Structure 1
Amino acid sequence: MKRVQVTLKDGSVRDYDQGTTVYEVAKSISGRLAKEAIVGEINGRTVDLSYPIMEDSTLSLFKFEDEAGAHAFRHTSSHIMAQAVKRLFPGTKLAIGPAIDNGFYYDFDTDHKFVPEDLERIEAEMQKIIKENLVLERFELPRNEAIAFMAEKGETYKVELINDLPEDEIISFYKQGEFVDLCAGCHVQSTKEVKSIKLLSLAGAYWRGDEKNKMLQRIYGTSFPKASLMEAHLTMLEEAKKRDHRKLGKELKLFALMEEGPGFPFMLPNGMVVKNELLKYWREVHERAEYVEVETPMILNRHLWETSGHWFHYKENMYSLRIDEEDYAIKPMNCPGGMLVYKTDLRSYKDLPMRVGEIGRVHRHELSGALHGLMRVRAFTQDDAHIFMLPEQIKDEIIGVVNLIDEVYKKFGFSYHIELSTRPEKSMGSDEDWKHAEDSLQAALEELEMPYKLNPGDGAFYGPKIDFHLKDSLGRTWQCGTIQLDMQLPQRFELSYIGKDGEKHQPIVIHRVAFGSVERFMGILIEEFAGKFPTWLAPIQVKVLTIADRHIPHAKEVASRLKGMGIRVNLDDRAEKIGFKIREAQLEKNPYMLIIGDKEAEENRVSVRSRDIGELGSLELEVFAKSLLDEISERGLKSFFNKNEEQ
């Protein structure tokens, strides 16, 4: 029998009989690896463990903790759920059922209206399917046979999906027991490998995300190879519910979501304090980095958006209107206006790099089903900036932006990972320009020795980008900052500068944001801090509480003196018991409370209570105020008093 050579991840090479499966290779390495492996990767292509190796190959094996392993594991879980639904509710039509971050879902078309009680029945049936130890078998069919096969089963959505596949696409299916699904894979070997499952919620979803299509019923779930991992995940979900920014935003009176403006959040006074403090910090950082700030119009005419390419590549996400019988659009991004700002003057190579920032309000049309508090909205504030530069300045400017964004995220205690996204299918510009742009971004990251993940095909239509994904205290990731290198808009807007040779040349542009959407960043911060903002961001930094009416004059004097120092103060002089006032202030998550009683009024002192530490005792007002002002100016994450105690 012919032998094949398999090169493993560690560089070692092993010989096997042709046709040896990926699973058999894993077993030959170690029994534990064979037990934990979920899928393999042969010559860069992810495959099932049952895949036979027919030629010399490189092989990587992925476990559940690997992204490819978790994806296959949860993809199988979605098939198990679909099989359970088909058993319990015959006649149900299947739409799509992918794996997603931390779980999976499946969309169903059925006359039965799912209710929460149904999830228990479906979950119980899934457990039966898991115990049946059904082997997942892959098979392929020619296009006509595949369409007839799905049509015979009444799976009209699957027929539509097959018809939309490219002519040369391999049409594959996976079978487990009586259940068959159209699927490219990959999957675990048997249903018994899915040890722990939990169905989480119900939702509506339009077929293919189009509001013109039928509304389907979506069931979300998650799964793990160990019960202990499931328990930890469910605990995290409970904690996430407590931290939900929509719930805390309402309780802390930060913002409001109203029927009159779905996707257009109302920022309340407390929320405006937080937003303005973020922007104040942003301006300080950017002034230090030698940015200038501009403001461009919110509405611009169609000609501008045709020049930028947005009218042809992004129009479905834009709000348009007519003014004086001419087409206009509300800006979905600040970039085209930034190009016009550059053109207001003749530029020289000596003027570059030119760093221009803008706190710009943008509007984008999002489907109603995609809206989510401050995280996904239709109107938001973008902390944009455009850097116009010489070709030889690209790497240094990218390094400067990476360092600036790194400084901003560390200020809030965030760790992050970086993704480098390359040319998408819909794009403009030459292959040569795209290669130069992608190589420049890659070179900057490598010089900084920053690890990154390659994200092929996910760049902007005008250039590749670097995305920053924040990791919060619950382990969730959020895409916020981005750096996009653009050689297309400068061409389209005919930007130029006079070079050393006296001739006109075209500048290169970096588009970049640090917060991304300021509102979204606020939502992330609300959940990260569970509403307990660090003192410099807190809407109310000090709450003054009176024990009795006779203490009101001294309390007013204390509040007035603190306000005069620039500290945000609120006075609670209601005729309520002090215990009630303290509990209410704790619920409001105010960093500090100053309690005023007889002793404090007589001795001109304050009794200090910290939200995070508890009782700090009686202090002279000036001593407390000095420490508080130091804490605010430092913009730290911890109480200054707590830091003093640690020292």
Structure 2
Amino acid sequence: MPPPDHHKDDQYLKEVIPKRIQLFQSIQSQQKSHIQSLPHDPIKVVLPDGSVKEGKRWESSPMDIAKGISKSLANNALISMVDGVLWDMNRPLESDCQLKLFTFDSDEGRDTFWHSSAHILGQSLETEYGCKLCIGPCTTRGEGFFYDAFYGDLGLNQDHFKSIESGALKAVAEKQPFERIEVTKEQALEIFSDNSFKVEIINDLPVDKTITVYRCGPLVDLCRGPHIPNTSFVKAIACLKASSAYWRGNKDRESLQRVYGISYPDQKRLKEYIEMLREAEKYDHRELGKKQELFFNHPLSPGSWFFLPYGTRIYNKLVEFIKKQYLERGYQEVISPNMFNMKLWETSGHAANYKENMFLIDIEKQEFGLKPMNCPGHCLIFDHKVRSYRELPLRMADFGVLHRNEASGALTGLTRVRRFQQDDAHIFCRESQIKDEVRGVLEFIDYAYTVFGFTYELKLSTRPEKYLGKMETWEKAEADLAEALNEFGKPWQINEGDGAFYGPKIDISVSDALKRKFQCATLQLDFQLPERFKLEYSAEEENGIERPVMIHRAILGSVERMFAILLEHYKGKWPFWLSPRQAIVCPVSEKSQPYALQVQDQIVKAGYYVDVDTTDRKIQKKYRVLGFIRKTYCPTKLVIVELHIVITVDLGDVSVSSVSRSLQVREAQLAQYNFILVVGEEEAKTGQVSVRVRDKADHSVMNIPSLLEQFKEKTEAHQ
């Protein structure tokens, strides 16, 4: 099917793009001449293994060093790091330095690869549709990239993808180099004078910010970079979906369209990724949630979900799991208000930086806001009385309800909501306690994620360009975090310059059964909020007053989001300890129902979730019929239709009760009950149950005490 007709802005393509290229080339020529005039003194380049390579200042590039090591490395290295700063492979080195090289198998390499792929996508979109490009990063999930653009009246959909991909592959085939220039604010405004979105970005940049512009083929784009050497490294690229977006995430601004893409260095990996997406679609938490009657949402409360009885069982189990650990790990639970006067958020800084994401309420001519996070409220709790160093560390936990005014277009099932709860906690401690507290949080994370069956990666995000506080405080905090990570004993990486402005942090990304990555847990140091709220405690020294350090931490993160991740991770098959349907008792006849209810009562009193199948399955008085889609009866045959498969059972050869029993078991298996307990007259006489386990064909006969002991063992082992 050909893509719908669209109006291409020919003037934009014929005049704007050539003008940008001309300005880019003019500035590039001047900068190359300047670099050639500089002294090309010898420099020493130190590699991670300690070996030293020789080069020339303003002449040798990381690519030259890679070629000197091996042809294979030069063919696969995507990006470099020079003294802790990511650096284009073809950008000349400026002095003696330490050099690291990254391939696609590293986070740095993948992120750069996908960021560069976004430029290739942007080039195709701009040349094909004459749209005004906005931003095009790699995704925060770490899987692919997207580009936001303004198209006017054109609505993109999957019918456009073939032509978009064709344009992208054309750029790949041309082996377009990624070229970099540095420009002044005035030059940047001139280059992008025809794109109001880029102009707004430029005008908002700090005065002292170095502005960089990149070119690949006809695309000239405002970008801090860095990028892969050229477009030919992207051997496989595909569009995934198109959606709406708002400029700068503000629902009151221009409506944009976002195209998501994925790319790889070879077709095999792209094919594997597409297969993984197809597999993931089968287990989308929204569909599984409907099938298992766990939750739903309603247009009268968008972004806020209703949890049904079975879903509430899981939700509560997750909360109880964390709360039990709180008792063992020295946390104190608190409950804080849902709504605060905006003066609180002015003190914390959220009024200036987060107000548009808050729900605001006018009360008696004063402005209040529903809390989007717990930390300012916890500062008030800390400050409500005089504190002593003897009370520290103070670990304060809160499952309070949070509200964030997410744009309607960004709402995605349980993973992006407006109303949610976090297993939120804040640790107030002395600087000397940071290392031990951080290690304790890491051990908590490891315990929980091991129970869930996740693997995870750790990164230490260090001081960004713009930060608050003293340099020596940051250096001490980063050293404490690094030491805690080393003592923790798991592999970790440095994420240079990606810390929050108020303190360094440890980023934890988990991988589920489908090998998808998610950011759930949080561990951040904060020197800023204690300063803003003037928090103090009396020190050991007489009359000494000190300010605490605040550690923000969450293990599950949003309970709603973790619920969704686990539902997909387990593919709808909940482990027994977390399952909302731990067991069902299936009586094979009406005579067995009283005993089935007795069994249920014993199991419920032991603290487990158990249902009883009391469905009336009689037709006339002679036959028992079970059907999944429709039921058909004839005098000599029993016909059962299940998911388009027709099974005919000759009643002359098979007893009705045995058919009933097998179909009860099948129904229970499809409903994902962990244990199916079949009871008949024989079981009622002996006080036993016939036990079948989900997804297993065999069965065993057990008495109730033995069954409950098995349930207890599974619960304690989190199985």
Q: Do the structures match in fold with TM over 0.5?
A: yes
- 2:359 aligns with 319
**In 2: Cα distance, 1:463 partner to 1:141 partner:** 31
**In 1: Cα distance, 2:105 partner to 2:246 partner:** 32
**In 2: Cα distance, 1:270 partner to 1:284 partner:** 21
* Cα distance change, pair 62–150 in 1 and its aligned pair in 2 (3 A): same
Selected match of 1:200 from 220, 227, 240: 240
Paired residues of 2:358 and 2:370 also in contact (CA < 8 A):
yes
Following superposition, the deviation at residue 273 of structure 1 comes to: 0.9
Following superposition, the deviation at residue 476 of structure 1 comes to: 2.5
Following superposition, the deviation at residue 185 of structure 1 comes to: 3.3
Q: Which amino acid aligns with 2:268?
A: S
- 2:137 aligns with 98
The answer to whether 1:129 aligns with 2:211 is no
Following superposition, the deviation at residue 137 of structure 1 comes to: 4.0
**In 1: Cα distance, 2:312 partner to 2:428 partner:** 32
- 2:583 aligns with 542
Residue correspondence of structure 1 range 183-582 to structure 2 within 5 A: 183-422=223-462, 429=469, 433-455=473-495, 459=499, 462-500=502-540, 503=543, 505-506=545-546, 508=548, 509-574=550-615, 575=617, 577=626, 578=660, 579-582=662-665
**In 2: Cα distance, 1:135 partner to 1:303 partner:** 52
Paired residues of 2:120 and 2:231 also in contact (CA < 8 A):
yes
Selected match of 1:619 from 697, 702, 711: 702
Q: How many residues align?
A: 633
- 1:14 aligns with 53
Greater mean alpha carbon deviation, residues 414-423 or residues 370-379: 414-423
Paired residues of 1:257 and 1:265 also in contact (CA < 8 A):
yes
**In 1: Cα distance, 2:345 partner to 2:205 partner:** 32
Paired residues of 1:391 and 1:507 also in contact (CA < 8 A):
no
TM value normalised by structure 1: 0.88
Q: Secondary structure at the match of 2:105?
A: coil
- 1:640 aligns with none
Greater mean alpha carbon deviation, residues 481-490 or residues 194-203: 481-490
Following superposition, the deviation at residue 381 of structure 1 comes to: 1.5
Paired residues of 2:157 and 2:241 also in contact (CA < 8 A):
no
* Cα distance change, pair 487–174 in 1 and its aligned pair in 2 (3 A): closer
- 2:672 aligns with 589
The answer for unaligned runs of 5 or more in structure 2 is 1-39, 618-624, 627-659
Q: Which amino acid aligns with 1:200?
A: L
Q: Secondary structure at the match of 1:356?
A: strand
**In 1: Cα distance, 2:240 partner to 2:41 partner:** 50
Paired residues of 2:317 and 2:578 also in contact (CA < 8 A):
yes
How big is each residue's C-alpha offset from its partner over 1:225-275, in whole Å with a ceiling of 9 and x where there is no partner? Answer: 112211221222122222322222222222222211222222221121112
* Cα distance change, pair 580–64 in 1 and its aligned pair in 2 (3 A): same
The answer to whether 1:610 aligns with 2:693 is yes
Residue correspondence of structure 1 range 110-149 to structure 2 within 5 A: 110=151, 111-139=153-181, 143-149=185-191
Selected match of 2:82 from 42, 57, 60: 42
Paired residues of 1:490 and 1:506 also in contact (CA < 8 A):
no
* Cα distance change, pair 488–559 in 1 and its aligned pair in 2 (3 A): same
Paired residues of 2:443 and 2:488 also in contact (CA < 8 A):
no
**In 2: Cα distance, 1:512 partner to 1:142 partner:** 41
Q: Which amino acid aligns with 1:596?
A: V
Q: Secondary structure at the match of 1:64?
A: coil
Work out which of the two has the higher radius of gyration on C-alpha atoms and give 1 or 2.
2
**In 2: Cα distance, 1:487 partner to 1:133 partner:** 48
Paired residues of 1:463 and 1:484 also in contact (CA < 8 A):
yes
Paired residues of 2:539 and 2:546 also in contact (CA < 8 A):
no
How big is each residue's C-alpha offset from its partner over 1:517-547, in whole Å with a ceiling of 9 and x where there is no partner? Answer: 2222222221221222211111120012233
The answer for unaligned runs of 5 or more in structure 1 is 638-647
Paired residues of 1:496 and 1:504 also in contact (CA < 8 A):
no
* Cα distance change, pair 122–398 in 1 and its aligned pair in 2 (3 A): closer
**In 1: Cα distance, 2:238 partner to 2:455 partner:** 29
**In 2: Cα distance, 1:464 partner to 1:2 partner:** 37
**In 1: Cα distance, 2:382 partner to 2:483 partner:** 27
How big is each residue's C-alpha offset from its partner over 1:614-639, in whole Å with a ceiling of 9 and x where there is no partner? Answer: 4333333433232122212x1423xx
- 1:158 aligns with 198
Q: CA RMSD for the aligned pairs? A: 3.1
Q: Which amino acid aligns with 1:15?
A: E
**In 1: Cα distance, 2:430 partner to 2:61 partner:** 54
- 2:639 aligns with none
Following superposition, the deviation at residue 2 of structure 1 comes to: 5.5
* Cα distance change, pair 7–464 in 1 and its aligned pair in 2 (3 A): closer
Greater mean alpha carbon deviation, residues 554-563 or residues 228-237: 554-563
TM value normalised by structure 2: 0.80
Q: Secondary structure at the match of 2:115?
A: helix
How big is each residue's C-alpha offset from its partner over 1:165-189, in whole Å with a ceiling of 9 and x where there is no partner? Answer: 4556555444444444344433334
Q: Secondary structure at the match of 1:99?
A: coil
Q: Secondary structure at the match of 1:322?
A: strand
**In 2: Cα distance, 1:173 partner to 1:390 partner:** 45
* Cα distance change, pair 323–145 in 1 and its aligned pair in 2 (3 A): closer
Q: Which amino acid aligns with 1:527?
A: E
Q: Which amino acid aligns with 2:132?
A: K
* Cα distance change, pair 210–620 in 1 and its aligned pair in 2 (3 A): same
**In 1: Cα distance, 2:517 partner to 2:131 partner:** 35
**In 1: Cα distance, 2:332 partner to 2:74 partner:** 58
* Cα distance change, pair 292–191 in 1 and its aligned pair in 2 (3 A): closer
Following superposition, the deviation at residue 205 of structure 1 comes to: 1.4
Greater mean alpha carbon deviation, residues 7-16 or residues 159-168: 159-168
* Cα distance change, pair 507–4 in 1 and its aligned pair in 2 (3 A): closer
* Cα distance change, pair 306–68 in 1 and its aligned pair in 2 (3 A): closer
**In 1: Cα distance, 2:188 partner to 2:346 partner:** 42
Greater mean alpha carbon deviation, residues 200-209 or residues 410-419: 410-419
Q: Secondary structure at the match of 2:303?
A: coil
**In 1: Cα distance, 2:349 partner to 2:187 partner:** 42
**In 1: Cα distance, 2:110 partner to 2:391 partner:** 50
Q: Percent identity?
A: 40
Following superposition, the deviation at residue 220 of structure 1 comes to: 1.0
